[in-house]
Amino acid sequence: MYSFERNFKLKDGTPAAVHILAEVPQYVHDVAHICFNEWPDAYIKDFDIFSVDQCAEDLRKNYMQTDKVPIVLVAHTSAGRFLGTTTLQLRDMPKVRPDLENWLASLVVSPEFRGQQVGNHLIAAVRALAYSLAIQKLYLWTEKSATATWYERHGWRHAGMQDYLGTDVFLMTLEVTSP
């Protein structure tokens, strides 16, 4: 079994870490809740998942592994407060772009903990995880140009615009050369 841990601190010094969801399954509901509420359209129209409970059930059934994609990452404080999550996903546009595999997907940080580097640690963790699984190329999509610019600072390149469920989104790609 593959184990993953990335330690960091919040602005006030609170110790925090990123782990694989399969190793901290107590966060399943937090992940389902924040992700479904952030992207309800994508879950309903592209993944056929219609509620937070269905999302949690899907996580328990299909994402409780540590050594192959898909893998969910969870950021949390040492005291057990959920901070944010992202997924190393096999297909993040399953009906629209089934040709593209291995995505940085569902990156979201709890609103009260934004601006404290949690997002940056989750991105770095996905990259390290992809590298350790010998994945050479990652994709992501985002609606916002400010977020696309942020990813560019992390080495991601624009790969064109994509019509996703009626909205034009930025498609981006990363060559995974090092963790």
Ligand X SMILES: CC(C)(COP(=O)(O)OP(=O)(O)OC[C@H]1O[C@@H](n2cnc3c(N)ncnc32)[C@H](O)[C@@H]1OP(=O)(O)O)[C@@H](O)C(=O)NCCC(=O)NCCS
Instruction: Name the site residues for ligand X (rule: CB under 6 A).
Output: 38, 107-109, 114-120, 140, 142, 146-147, 150, 153
Closer residue to ligand X, CB minimum distance, 64 or 128: 128
**Cβ nearer to ligand X, comparing 49 with 104:** 104
Q: Identify which of residues 12 and 61 has a Cβ nearer to ligand X in the complex.
A: 12
Residue nearest to ligand X (CB): 119
Shortest distance, position 6 Cβ to ligand X, whole Å: 13
For every residue of the chain, which 3-state class applies, written as one string?
CCCCEEEEECCCCCEEEEEEHHHCHHHHHHHHHHHHHHCHHHHHHHCCCCCHHHHHHHHHHHCCCCCCCCEEEEEEECCCCEEEEEEEECCCCCCCCCCCCCEEEEEEECHHHCCCCHHHHHHHHHHHHHHHCCCCEEEEEECCHHHHHHHHHCCCEEEEEEEECCEEEEEEEEECCCC
Please state the closest distance from residue 1 (CB atom) to ligand X, in A. Answer: 28
